[in-house]
A and B are shown apart, each in its own frame.
Chain A
Amino acid sequence: EVQLVQSGAEVKKPGATVKISCKVSGYTFTDYYMHWVQQAPGKGLEWMGLVDPEDGETIYAEKFQGRVTITADTSTDTAYMELSSLRSEDTAVYYCATDSGPWGQGTLVTVSS
């Protein structure tokens, strides 16, 4: 069974950095891009960027460029998303996902002073 399991909820102060993990199982990690998606409370889905686990190449959405870093560790079949300079508007659920398969369960990040 294909599974994407994300790390737990985080509470951060404005200006801090958060790093979320997404461990995959049930398929070959390097076969598919891994995407990260933001969903603010009551809002739609917003694409943040992707990593190609095969070579580590990344592509970021313009909105998050400069603040987001997405990486993939093929030794542990885990993808990571790091978001820096957090502000209240970054309070959201963050998902890892492949294009054609399952999504992670989501990680709630709350940014509050």
Chain B
Amino acid sequence: NFMLTQPHSVSESPGKTVTISCTRSSGSIASNYVQWYQQRPGSSPTTVIYEDNQRPSGVPDRFSGSIDSSSNSASLTISGLKTEDEADYYCQSYDSSNHRVFGGGTKLTVL
């Protein structure tokens, strides 16, 4: 199976833009969709990006997703950072057998 590696933590100031990476260890990042989930402290996760770059209804367009085959990674970009964006973010993808894999999570601090 493969692994998804995320930075342990990132921090940025309100109003700025931050990008969180998610690198796939084996197999092509483009071969299976990537999802991104936000988990605020004490809450259940919510989906912010699905199928690489699609936003569920209600998720602001400040959130965007992309994949880069050259680095075999996916990215979640959040622009116009707000303090309410402070949360843990997890990427997820799957293999040819439909087994899901989560990244280890990235703690975003907005300071």
A interface list, Cβ under 8 A from B: 35, 37, 44-47, 50, 59, 61-62, 95, 97, 99-106
Which residues of chain B come closer than 8 Å to A46, judged between CB atoms? 102
With CB as the reference atom, state the residue of chain B lying closest to A6.
B44
Contact B98 A59 (CB under 8 A): yes
Residues of B within 8 A of A102 (CB): 46-47
Q: Is B68 in the interface zone, CB < 8 Å from A?
A: no
Size class of the contact patch on chain B: 20 to 34
Question: What sequence of 0s and 1s flags, for each residue 76-102 of chain B, a beta carbon within 8 Å of any chain A beta carbon?
Answer: 000000000000101010000111111
Contact indicator A50/B44 (Cβ below 8 Å): no
Alpha-carbon separation in the docked complex, A35 to B104 (Å): 18
A45 touches B98 (CB 8 A): no
10 contacts between A and B (CB under 8 A): A45-B90, A45-B92, A45-B105, A47-B100, A61-B99, A95-B45, A99-B33, A100-B50, A100-B51, A100-B54
Q: Taking A62-B1, A103-B46 as given, write out 18 further A-B residue pairs in contact, using a Cβ cutoff of 8 Å, ordered by the A residue number.
A: A35-B100, A37-B102, A44-B88, A44-B102, A44-B103, A44-B104, A44-B105, A45-B45, A45-B92, A59-B97, A99-B33, A99-B47, A99-B50, A100-B56, A101-B56, A102-B47, A104-B44, A106-B44
Interface of A is mostly: loop
Count of chain A to chain B residue pairs whose CB atoms are closer than 8 Å in the complex: 55
Q: In the complex, how many angstroms separate the beta carbon of B6 from the nearest chain A beta carbon?
A: 9
B63 at the interface (CB under 8 A from A): no
Docked CA distance A27–B4 (Å): 30
